[in-house]
Amino acid sequence: MGMKDMIRQLAPPVLVSLAKRLRGDGKGSEYGLSGDYHSWDEAKAASTGYGSAAILEKTRAALLKVKKGEAVYERDSILFDEIQYTWPLLAGLMWAAARAGGRLNVLDVGGSLGSTYFQNRAFLARLPAVRWNVVEQPAHVREGRRSFEDASLKFYESIAECLAHTAPNVVLLSSVLQYLERPYDLLAEVLALSCDCVIIDRTPFHSGDSDRLCVQRIDPAIFDASYPMWTFSPGRFREALGGRAVVEEFESFENGMFGLMWKGFILGGPE
């Protein structure tokens, strides 16, 4: 019996069902990825968009439970009974902190209401100095400042606004590039910064030579939404990394979802 078969037999049926819905498994499944769109506007017209108030409210309610100690872990608005660490990401954060004498100042682009900060705070609390700066949409920033901001966790509407207040030594791009109209513009902006480390995680790739633009539809059991999503060509994406040294390349935990490769990278400072 292979490892995947063992997992299927041991996993509760409800978890198997949820995993299938998340992957868009099964013939005729209406959830997952669809289409091969020629423009962002075309894909956007076929989706509801990421700026839904319902998404923000569900994420806010879940993370407030985590903040108050009423729940253990939140990801993508879903609560879990135990923290599901992304160990390569955490290793990258600790590597950056070690290079800066224990100081960790993170620029988390597209970081929701601080999900990754709360996920890793047990480890972050052991560092002598931590500042976590989330750059997000205006509605997220307003809610973040109202309900979550403290001495360590801050919220900004742009990278420029963040840089006007602090100098991060790490930039985190986790599950964000694929949801931007011009992902390579943001990647170039981030790689041009003087920070010691850039961490990219939860990013989808396919085997083609060109990037593909799809629409991702979410199961309404999670939240009712759909939005444009890129899947990247590995060759083109690697070229876009420019002069940054790849310290490590790793598989993200979603690897295999939608039949895609999901990867992450830990990049060193500018050469």
Would you list the domain boundaries of the chain? 1-30, 32-270
Q: What is the pLDDT of residue 58?
A: 86
Q: How far apart are CA 196 and CA 138, in angstroms?
A: 28
Q: How far apart are CA 261 and CA 263, in angstroms?
A: 6
State the CATH architecture for 32-270: 3-Layer(aba) Sandwich (3.40)
Tokens of 112: 């929701």
Pick left, alpha or beta for residue 167 (phi over 0 → left; psi -120 to 50 → alpha; otherwise beta): beta
Q: Say whether pTM exceeds 0.85.
A: yes
Q: What is the pLDDT of residue 30?
A: 67
- Which 8-state DSSP code applies to residue 232? B
Residues 241 and 171: beta-carbon distance below 8 Å:
no
Low-confidence ranges of the chain (pLDDT < 50): 1-29
Q: What is the pLDDT of residue 187?
A: 98
Residues 227 and 50: beta-carbon distance below 8 Å:
yes
Question: In DSSP terms, which residues pair with 262 in a beta bridge?
Answer: 204
* Helices 138-147, 53-67: crossing angle, 10 deg rounding: 20
